[in-house]
């Protein structure tokens, strides 16, 4: 019986690792075109970045909306930037006051940091990244959208 329980435990761990590897591969594949956009600079002279827009909903029913311009760090491993975040408490409109929040996205795993919140196992499909982050006792669900952005250099 002990061998059977050990085998079941090992199979469960293997299934979790395989699922996590698949999710990481999906997010890496999702992020690759944006990394390529930033590194190839295929449109010539200008400013290359990735625009991030996200929404979140916490288990407390508080919501947030944020926008950021992301660039690739020097080691080509993270998209980074500062988001302007607008918050709304349950049943209230978004506040016009914005809060700056640091954003990091690991281009190899898809792991997302939004301030102190971390989405460790994001899903990537249908042109979106999404997943849960825990901050304290509250769980927050995030949905992120990325788009390439180019501003041509003046002639």
pLDDT of 20 > 90? The answer is no
H or E stretch at 95: none
**Where does the pLDDT of residue 119 fall: very low under 50, low under 70, confident under 90, or very high at 90 and above?**
very high
Percentage, residues of the chain above pLDDT 70: 85
User: What are the residue boundaries of the structural domains of the chain, listed by start?
Assistant: 2-152
CATH architecture designation of domain 2-152: Beta Barrel (2.40)
* Mean pLDDT value across the chain: 84
pLDDT of 82 > 80? The answer is yes
Percentage, residues of the chain above pLDDT 90: 59
pLDDT digits (tens, 9 = 90+) for 48-67: 999 999 999 988 888 999 99
Q: What is the pTM of this model?
A: 0.81
Tokens matching residue 62? 């508080």
Separation of alpha carbons 145 and 5, rounded Å: 42
pLDDT of 23 > 90? The answer is no
Q: Which of 95, 96, 102 is nearest to 117 (CA)?
A: 102
**Cβ pair 30, 124 in contact under 8 A:** yes
């Amino acid at each position: 019986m002990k061998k059977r329980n050990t085998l079941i435990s090992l199979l469960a761990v293997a299934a979790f690792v395989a699922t996590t590897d698949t999710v990481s591969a999906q997010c890496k594949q999702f992020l690759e075109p944006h990394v390529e956009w930033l590194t190839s600079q295929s449109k010539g002279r200008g400013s290359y970045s990735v625009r991030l827009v996200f929404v979140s909903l916490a288990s407390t029913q508080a919501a947030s909306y944020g926008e950021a311009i992301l660039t690739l760090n020097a080691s080509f491993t993270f998209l980074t930037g500062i988001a302007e975040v607008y918050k709304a408490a349950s049943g209230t409109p978004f506040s016009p006051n914005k809060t700056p929040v640091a954003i990091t996205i690991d281009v190899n795993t898809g792991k997302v940091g939004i301030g102190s919140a971390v989405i460790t196992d994001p899903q990537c499909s249908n042109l979106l990244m999404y997943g849960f982050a825990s901050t304290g006792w509250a769980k927050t669900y995030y949905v992120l959208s990325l788009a390439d952005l180019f501003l041509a250099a003046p002639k």
